[in-house]
Amino acid sequence: MNTQTKPFDQLRVVVYTDALGIGGAEISLGHLVANVSNQIEMIVVGVSQAVVAAIAARRPQVRQIVLPAAGVRAVLAHRALLHRLQPDVVHVNLCTPWAGAIGLTAALTLPAARVVRVDQLPLRTTDAIELWRTRWLSLRVDAHVAVGEGSARFMEDFYALGRHTVLSVPNGVPDDQIEPLPLPFHQDGAFVVGSVGRLDAMKAHDVLLRAIAQVDGAQVAILGDGEQRPALERLANDLGIHDRVHLLGWMDQPRAYLPNFDVVALPSRSEGFPLAIVEAMLAARPVVATRVGSVAEAVIDGETGFLVEKNDVDSLARALRKLKEDAGMRDQLGCHGRALATAQFTAAQMAKRYEQIWRSVLEAPRSPRLRVPRPRD
């Protein structure tokens, strides 16, 4: 049967990632795999057993395949596997725009399969080879997706792809009922600001600590771990707020702690469409976040939370003080946020949009693989 006319219950989709660890991009891919129609055959392919298993965890009996990560052996193994599987669609999930080159190249050699590229972070590379390779591969896929309108426009500009060549599908989160868990410290009725994310410079927890120092009596609880922990501990001591800062480390169920927070803050210096924001909105928590990536498509300033510019300590502190002083505002913003998240940002809605993209690329002619396609203006 011709792929273009094949019904969805006969489709085979390979989802691929070359990530070596679990972050938001991989969690989002796991949500997709779990929520795609059971009629579609899904195969999870990657270069890390732990990552592949985590992505496949919520879809029983899904096939899992692990390939070599680098070198000539990896190139040959990727190509051989995809040609043996003969998928209808290869869905490549990228944690950075320059990731996944081996998987993308192998997928593009398939004679009939459609290739869908998903960029989770709209980052620009300064490496000339990476920039050229990213653009070369992007121009040959059958659909190029970013996790929001803002992120899509950034990718088009960063890699000279042409306006409206990158689609937008925001990351979604399951609207699950999760039993709340108490925080492992005494709150004593204090105003608690929560943040979820790995401790690295991009997440800008240093900015959050400097802002908390300006909000009398506020406590901050950060769920996540990483290389910035010693620097953040020193900063808390230097600011004289070590007794108000709680670095709680990695939590298996961060969403279970969200009801303890009065506000969720994400002062990131760079983002795509962070899952932590949608999780906070589903928990009816107001969000204060930076105007980066596609964050402004979920955090509507003054409606579901507040937006500030990156690295702007004073603006972040003012927003937190405003919310500290007005419990009614916190409740109102939180309710509006939950309504928006359930309407637009669930995992089921995300999966439905990707299924529509897979259907559309299968019904359309395959993108040219050798000739350089002309980007649309």
User: Which 3-state string (H, E, C) describes 307-328?
Assistant: EECCCCHHHHHHHHHHHHCCHH
Q: Tell me, yes or no, whether 181 lies in a domain.
A: no
Cα(301)–Cα(299) distance, integer angstroms: 6
CATH label of the domain that carries residue 34: 3.40.50.2000
Q: Tell me, yes or no, whether 240 lies in a domain.
A: yes
20 with 120, same domain: the answer is yes
Q: What is the DSSP letter of 151?
A: H
Cα(11)–Cα(30) distance, integer angstroms: 19
Question: CA 184, 269, 19: angle at the middle one, nearest 5?
Answer: 75
Query: Exposed (0-12), middle (13-18) or buried (19+): which is 5, by Cβ within 10 Å?
Result: exposed
333 with 355, same domain: the answer is no
Range of the domain at 151: 3-172+347-363
What is the full DSSP assignment across 30-81? HHHHHHS-TTSEEEEEES-HHHHHHHHTTSTT-EEEE---SHHHHHHHHHHH
Q: What is the DSSP letter of 166?
A: S
pTM of the model: 0.92
354 with 328, same domain: the answer is no
Cβ pair 25, 100 in contact under 8 A: no
Cβ pair 150, 297 in contact under 8 A: yes
Helices (H) and strands (E) in the chain, counts: 12, 13
User: Among residues 41, 79, 75, 77, which one has the least CA distance to residue 61?
Assistant: 41
Q: Tell me, yes or no, whether 179 lies in a domain.
A: no
354 with 245, same domain: the answer is no
Cβ pair 183, 194 in contact under 8 A: no
Structure token pair of residue 99: 């990731």
User: Among residues 325, 285, 287, which one has the least CA distance to residue 306?
Assistant: 287
Structure token pair of residue 240: 């004289």
Per-residue pLDDT, 189? 86
Per-residue pLDDT, 7? 72
Cβ pair 249, 357 in contact under 8 A: no
Q: Tell me, yes or no, whether 370 lies in a domain.
A: no
221 with 289, same domain: the answer is yes
83 with 98, same domain: the answer is yes
288 with 155, same domain: the answer is no
358 with 327, same domain: the answer is no
34 with 49, same domain: the answer is yes
Cβ contacts of residue 104 below 8 Å, gap of 6+? Answer: 92, 115, 117, 137, 141
Q: Tell me, yes or no, whether 376 lies in a domain.
A: no
Q: Tell me, yes or no, whether 30 lies in a domain.
A: yes
Q: What is the largest CA-CA distance in the chain?
A: 69
Task: Phi first, then psi: give them for residue 178, nearest 5 degrees.
Answer: -115, 130
Q: Tell me, yes or no, whether 218 lies in a domain.
A: yes
Structure token pair of residue 172: 């979604």
Strand order in the sheet with 245-249: 245-249, 219-223, 192-196, 263-266, 287-290, 305-308
What is the full DSSP assignment across 98-132? T--HHHHHHHHT-SS-EEEEEESS------HHHHH
Per-residue pLDDT, 32? 98
159 with 210, same domain: the answer is no
Cα(277)–Cα(242) distance, integer angstroms: 26
Q: Tell me, yes or no, whether 76 lies in a domain.
A: yes
254 with 355, same domain: the answer is no
Cα(36)–Cα(92) distance, integer angstroms: 15
332 with 227, same domain: the answer is yes
User: Among residues 35, 30, 27, 102, which one has the least CA distance to residue 272?
Assistant: 27
Per-residue pLDDT, 8? 65
Please tell me the total count of domains within the chain.
Answer: 2
Cα(266)–Cα(37) distance, integer angstroms: 33
Reading the chain (377 residues) residue by residue, the pLDDT tens digits are 344 456 766 899 999 999 999 999 999 999 999 999 999 999 999 999 999 999 999 998 899 999 999 999 999 999 999 999 999 999 999 999 999 999 999 999 999 999 999 999 999 999 999 999 999 999 999 999 999 999 999 999 999 999 999 999 999 999 998 999 999 887 778 999 999 999 999 999 999 999 999 999 999 999 999 999 999 999 999 999 999 999 999 988 899 999 999 999 999 999 999 999 999 999 999 999 999 999 999 999 999 999 999 999 999 999 999 999 999 999 999 999 999 999 999 999 999 999 999 999 999 999 998 765 565 55
